Amino acid sequence: MKTHARPLNARLPVGETRGSLLIKDGLIVTLGDKSRVLAGHSILCDGGRIAKIARTAQFKGKYDKVLSAQGKVVLPGFINSHMHFYSTLVRGLGKAAPSRNFQEVLENLWWRLDKKLSLDDCYYSALLPLIDAVKRGTTTLVDHHASPFAVRGSLDLIAKAVKETGLRASLCYELSDRDGEKVAQDGIDENVAFIKRCARESDDQLKALFGLHASFTITDKTMEKAARAGHDLGAGFHVHTAEAASDQDYNQKHFGLRVVERLHKFGILGPRTIAAHCVHVTEKEMDLLKSTDTAVAHNPQSNMNNAVGVADIVKMQSKGILVGLGTDAMTVNMLEELRCALWAQHLSHDDPSCGFMEAASTLMFNNARIAARHWGVKLGVLEEGAAADIALMDYHPPTTFDEGTFLGHVIFGLSQSFVDATIASGKVLMENKRLTIDIDEAEVAAKSLELSKKLWQRF
């Protein structure tokens, strides 16, 4: 594995690239608006799409590849609606000063780290979690990147890693004024360039949003420029929103508006925008999110780790807000994040019966609805015409497994099982728990170790 010096348009073999793929004899969970559990059925994939789902006996032709799903549950590939690839190289770092609140977490760790990232760091820090995503059955990720002194070209390098792993990703650059006017302009230019690239190439693997860090690190002048640029390109936005109470405090003191109100003032909200976190939002702000049809990405593990609180996804969803599930770089294992989402609602509402459907829906249904706003193909559902993004998980149900019980199996059973195979766009990226993509994982890790040592010295 070479560094990013490899040409960005180099043709790379990814997974199994043959035409037809039959996934045979699995216990299929279709999800979608009419979710069904189908035993004794098989799925035929062709041209990157699902061509047919029917009883296994109906498939008598010859196919380029056949995967046995006997003893496995077949699900749509998982979707992560808020991720930070760039945090990978901080794993194990102990040099940051102890932090008493979220602002100090940012100042002592993340804002020190992102200033030191090189373009090579950006590429390898994306490649590693993408490989791990394949292992976890996560086929689509919405990322939010920051590297203020290696801005230009950073999204193309992350896109290169996405292409090499065969997954899908929506990328953006985290615009902020915290590192000065030049870096802020670089952030605008990087977002614009990548949005234009995605529009030009119409690549199913790559989509773009206009990235904003958070309202409290963006001036009115920069917010206005970003809004104008994004609107001119027809782009949605991806922004941290009221993650901590300090975000609200800053906006009210300096702008006389609450966070969601200020974003609304500049036209940032809307159906193609993702507001990450929304831990500290009022009912009035929730009403604004609903009226603008803005999606929210809930990140419970990160919120608990940073001690900022627990977003009230029960109230949000009661108002009709589309709430999906992200991980904020804590993991790419979406079932782990889902379990934490449920426990957090139980605890925050002081009610062990509260929030089951609201938490389960974030991952199992709502992330697909969010993805549908950005991709021109159905994701997160197994039906004819949808993307052939599929995960096979080892599982022998010990109790009734049907439309009424499968969510309980997902949270309390499948979440503890292993992903056996991962398919994206009909290409087999992992089979029998072994990667089939053209990447030497050990070599990538070794290069990452080399880069991280240098990064830590600069930290």
Q: What token pair was written down for 409?
A: 């199996």
- CA 245, 250, 253, 256 dihedral sign is negative
Contact yes or no for 327/334 (Cβ under 8 A)? yes
Reported as a single tens digit per residue, the pLDDT across 224-267 is 999 999 999 999 999 999 999 999 999 999 999 999 999 999 99
pLDDT averaged over every residue in the chain: 95
Task: Output the CA torsion 242→246→249→251 (10° steps).
Answer: -60
Find the distance separating the first CA and the last CA of the chain, reported in whole Å: 26
State the architecture of 78-372 in CATH terms: Alpha-Beta Barrel (3.20)
Q: Is the pLDDT of residue 5 over 50?
A: no
Query: What pLDDT score does 61 carry?
Result: 85
Angle between helices 220-232 and 181-201 (to 10 degrees): 10
Residue range(s) occupied by CATH 3.20.20.140 in the chain: 78-372
Reported as a single tens digit per residue, the pLDDT across 259-316 is 999 999 999 999 999 999 999 999 999 999 999 999 999 999 999 999 999 999 999 9
Name the nearest CA neighbour of 276 among 235, 247, 250: 247
The rounded distance, in Å, linking the Cα atoms of 26 and 229 is 47
- Average pLDDT of the residues in 409-432: 98
Q: Is the pLDDT of residue 4 over 70?
A: no
The rounded distance, in Å, linking the Cα atoms of 240 and 32 is 28
Position 1 confidence tier, pLDDT thresholds 50, 70, 90? very low
Contact yes or no for 369/297 (Cβ under 8 A)? no
Nearest-5° Cα angle at 148, 334 to 303: 35
Q: What token pair was written down for 19?
A: 């035409």
Query: What pLDDT score does 11 carry?
Result: 36
Name the nearest CA neighbour of 370 among 406, 326, 408: 326
Position 12 confidence tier, pLDDT thresholds 50, 70, 90? very low
Residue range(s) occupied by CATH 2.30.40.10 in the chain: 20-77+380-435
Query: What pLDDT score does 94 carry?
Result: 84
Supply the DSSP symbol for 170. E
CATH T-level fold of 20-77+380-435: Urease, subunit C; domain 1 (2.30.40)
- Average pLDDT of the residues in 151-165: 98
Element (H, E) at 74: strand 72-76
Q: What token pair was written down for 358?
A: 């609201």
